[in-house]
Amino acid sequence: MTPASGESLLEFLAVMRRLRAECPWKREQTHRSLARYLLEETHETLEAIDTGDLEHLREELGDLLLQVYFHAVVAEEEGAFTIDDVARGITEKMYRRNPHVFGPPAGDHPQDAAAVNEVWQAIKQSDKPRTSLTDGLPETLPALLYAAKVLERGGSAPEEPADLGERVLALVQEAVDDGIDPEQALRDAVRRLG
């Protein structure tokens, strides 16, 4: 495998621009009409990860990339932003949120994953200050993931759960405390049933 030169990404951008111009179905699409496909491709990518099929994962990452480029070309036509703006924004964010890699050499940079994550979260909080535990969390996240995010931000499950929801929340709290992704743990458990 040779290192990427970026040529394939530029070629794909040209393909998406042409498809948008010449394909009647693609020309009619909007960010809103494409949303369902983004969600579908995300779930198909997760399935490929769960099964460990790397060829399937490569294919699904391509389908996910299609969605990113499709939205970027639609936005470009609207004069909102370009794929370069998307790439520039995420690159700047990576520089800013990873000072242990891109910052000046110093002995006080975190040396383990947990410490790096703490720095990331602190920088993220300064980038996007929040006033509640749910600020910035999409309510459409799967419930287990949503609960885990709120608990990771400092929420806590009731000491004595009163109903099913609170009992599930207590299990999510247990998973978070143990460093386990409850969403993935449940998917793995269901997959073992099949």
Residue 91 confidence class, pLDDT cut points 50, 70, 90: very high
Give pLDDT tens digits for 93-149: 999 999 888 887 766 777 788 888 888 888 888 888 888 889 889 988 889 999 999
Quickly count: other Cβ atoms within 10 Å of residue 131's Cβ.
6
Quickly count: other Cβ atoms within 10 Å of residue 83's Cβ.
20
Q: Is the pTM of this model over 0.85?
A: no
Q: How far apart are CA 181 and CA 40, in angstroms?
A: 21
**What pLDDT was estimated at residue 136?**
86
Angle between the N-to-C axes of helices 54-78 and 83-97, in degrees from 0 to 180, rounded to the nearest 10? 120
Q: Which token pair is 9? A: 């990404």
Q: How far apart are CA 178 and CA 93, in angstroms?
A: 29
Q: What's the CATH superfamily of 7-96?
A: MazG-like (1.10.287.1080)
Task: Indicate the average pLDDT of the chain.
Answer: 92
Give pLDDT tens digits for 32-80: 999 999 999 999 999 999 899 999 999 999 999 999 999 999 999 999 9
What are the extents of the domains in the chain?
7-96, 105-129, 132-194
Closest CA to 142 of 191, 193, 184, 189: 184
